[in-house]
Amino acid sequence: MHDKIETAVAEIGKVVFGKEKQIRLSLCCLFAGGHLLMEDKPGMGKTTLSQALAKVLGLEYSRIQFTSDLLPADILGVTIYDQNQAKFSFHPGPVFSNLILADEINRTTPKTQSALLEAMEEKQVSVDGETRKLPDPFFVIATQNPTSFAGTYPLPESQLDRFLMRLKIGYPDPVAERELLINSEERAGIDDLKQCLDASDIKTLHNSINEVQATDSLLDYLQRLVAYTRQDD
């Protein structure tokens, strides 16, 4: 499995130049069963990274562009009456995919942001009194612009709590920037990426997380960190 992961990192690196650390962290977040929040300026490669992950991991991909007029039903789906069959039928929304890119999540209202709370925590959605399971694996990558940008709604604590990691991609180093200038259509190369892992591999890696042993000294250190965040404003 180690060789497959290294191949996946190298494959994604063909379109996300000079960001091996961010690629590895994204994979760790997915394998751990968490969700990823990426906060950075526009044009840093957040969308390219999410598309490359879906391609290399063989996951069904949906992109949701969050805007101020987006409604929860636009994400979860809606029940519509079918006159031909004389019954109501559920039309699933884009949330019913393996990898969801919630693009510019802080540009929509808190009401619409909350539509993802149940999905991200319990891997299910409740619509019209009926609970529906989401695909497995289910991984949300949310991007947000800095809160200093106009037209943004800060994510509430309940939403931030759903994310295992929060990272920035940042500007490319000079070598990667030159490569971007030479290969300006790096997103076009996503279609040429090879699939290195599949859903069964991800499930195996996810199950193996529980077998990782943590020493008492490491757990003590983690507890001290948590305690410090509770005591210091």
What is the rounded CA–CA span in Å between residue 133 and residue 123? 6
What is the rounded CA–CA span in Å between residue 114 and residue 155? 10
**Would you say residue 220 has pLDDT above 90?**
yes
* Averaged pLDDT for residues 144-162: 75
Assess contact for 139 and 98: CB atoms under 8 A: yes
Q: What is the pLDDT of residues 162-188, one digit of tens each?
A: 999 999 988 888 888 888 888 766 566
pTM: 0.86
Q: Among 36-40, 46-50, 77-81, whose mean pLDDT is lowest?
A: 77-81
**Burial (CB count <10 Å: 0-12, 13-18, 19+), residue 47:** middle
Q: What is the pLDDT of residue 110?
A: 83
What is the rounded CA–CA span in Å between residue 57 and residue 110? 31
Domain-wise residue ranges, the chain: 2-231
Q: What is the pLDDT of residues 101-131, one digit of tens each?
A: 999 888 888 888 888 889 999 999 988 888 9
Assess contact for 89 and 80: CB atoms under 8 A: yes
* Confidence grade of residue 79 (pLDDT, cut at 50, 70, 90): confident
* Confidence grade of residue 151 (pLDDT, cut at 50, 70, 90): low
Residue 94: alpha-carbon gap to chain centroid: 14
The DSSP bridge partners found for residue 91 are: 78
| 2-231 carries CATH number 3.40.50.150 | no
